[in-house]
């Protein structure tokens, strides 16, 4: 019933924006919940997804690929990112939740051995919504959205980048590139660059250098910089040829670009549904 789906999607969006964090669908009977599945194309994930589909349909939760209340991801964090981008147009109408079929991840709390718990938490309304504002980047006449990070990388030659924060010049950078991540993305590429993992709830951006050049006549900050996510960040250069703009899993050629402007998105709010009572410290600790 398309009418019902539209309504239920809107109901919890409004509540999220009023209260920040909330529990959705206390009594699932009053709203007709629907789901879609985004599955990593490997055998284990596809088998898990089939089991899940059967169990959800037994609970009266129907599949709807276009207007799902829940986008259920089976795979890894990379699959979760892919799913979010697939539903970017209607992002705030869906809640995203995942079942892991590989190593443990940051976006997904349930293992493929916990399908019963997953289905009962979902059908009995035990999930909590965790809102995360995405990053919005404007470059080359396009608007792009990032869950994890926006990065400029030049594998071909030394890239000069002037960095402006809230319109003020901050530094001239030289090197292979810069990575600007969200709190969610701090455990991804940023961590490989020696950036700090940011605790959930911190409204922050973090900028990390990719092989910055530092010597007696040239220096940039040289260490990762954590700033408020209300900061407007601008990267500019007279020549971005050879560089790519990475936005999560996507890459764009920067040949004809002069600036990249990044800010917290006011319109794109991602809702991650969390059910399992696992602390963020445990989630982080169990990965290593």
Q: Which residues bind ligand NAP (CB under 6 A)?
A: 76-78, 81, 102, 105-106, 148-149, 184-185, 187-189, 192, 248-249
Name the token pair of 272.
């991650």
Helix (H) or strand (E) holding 86: helix 77-86
187 binds, among Mn ion, ligand NAP, none (CB under 5 to 8 A by kind): ligand NAP
Residue nearest to ligand NAP (CB): 78
Secondary structure E strands in the chain? 22-23, 34-39, 62-63, 70-75, 95-100, 110-111, 128-139, 142-146, 149-153, 159-165, 168-181, 204-212, 225-228, 233-236, 244-247, 250-253, 259-274
Binds Mn ion by CB under 5 A, chosen from 16, 24, 45, 76? 76
Catalytic residue among 77, 109, 121, 248: 77
Closest contact distance (angstroms) between CB of 189 and ligand NAP is 3
Contacts of residue 29, defined as CB under 8 A and 6 or more positions apart, other chains included, come to none
Q: Considering only residues 15, 59, 78, 131, which one is a binding residue for Mn ion as defined by CB under 5 A?
A: 78
Shortest Cβ 166–ligand NAP spacing (Å)? 25
Residue corresponding to tokens 């470059």: 139
Distance CA 33, CA 68 (A): 8
Q: Is 280 a catalytic residue?
A: no
Q: Least Å distance between CB 39 and Mn ion?
A: 13
Find the shortest distance in angstroms from Cβ 190 to Mn ion: 16
Binding site for Mn ion (CB under 5 A): 76, 78
Catalytic residues: 77
């Amino acid at each position: 019933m398309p009418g019902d789906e539209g309504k239920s999607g809107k109901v919890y969006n409004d509540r999220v924006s009023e209260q920040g964090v909330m529990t959705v669908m206390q009594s699932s009977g009053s709203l007709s919940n629907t789901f879609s599945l985004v599955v990593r194309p490997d055998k284990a994930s596809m088998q898990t997804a089939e089991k899940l589909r059967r169990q959800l349909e037994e609970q009266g939760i129907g599949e709807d690929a276009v207007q799902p209340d829940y986008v259920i991801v089976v795979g890894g964090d990379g699959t979760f990112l892919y799913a979010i981008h697939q539903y970017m147009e209607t992002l705030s109408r869906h809640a995203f939740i995942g079942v892991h079929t590989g190593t443990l991840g940051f976006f997904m709390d349930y293992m493929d051995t916990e399908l019963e718990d997953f289905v009962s938490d979902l059908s009995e309304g035990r999930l909590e919504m965790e809102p995360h504002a995405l990053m919005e980047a404007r470059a080359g006449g396009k608007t792009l959205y990032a869950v994890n990070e926006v990065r400029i990388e030049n594998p071909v030659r030394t890239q000069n980048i002037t960095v402006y924060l809230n319109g003020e010049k901050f530094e001239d950078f030289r090197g292979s590139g810069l990575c600007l991540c969200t709190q969610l993305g701090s455990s991804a590429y940023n961590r490989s660059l020696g950036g700090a993992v940011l605790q959930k709830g911190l409204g922050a951006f973090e900028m990390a250098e990719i092989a910055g050049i530092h010597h007696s006549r040239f220096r940039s900050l040289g260490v990762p910089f954590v700033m408020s996510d209300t900061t407007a960040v601008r990267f500019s250069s007279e020549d971005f040829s050879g560089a790519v703009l990475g936005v999560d899993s996507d890459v764009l050629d920067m040949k004809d670009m002069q600036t990249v402007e990044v800010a917290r998105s006011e319109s794109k709010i991602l809702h991650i549904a969390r059910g399992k009572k696992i602390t963020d410290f445990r989630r982080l600790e169990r990965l290593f």
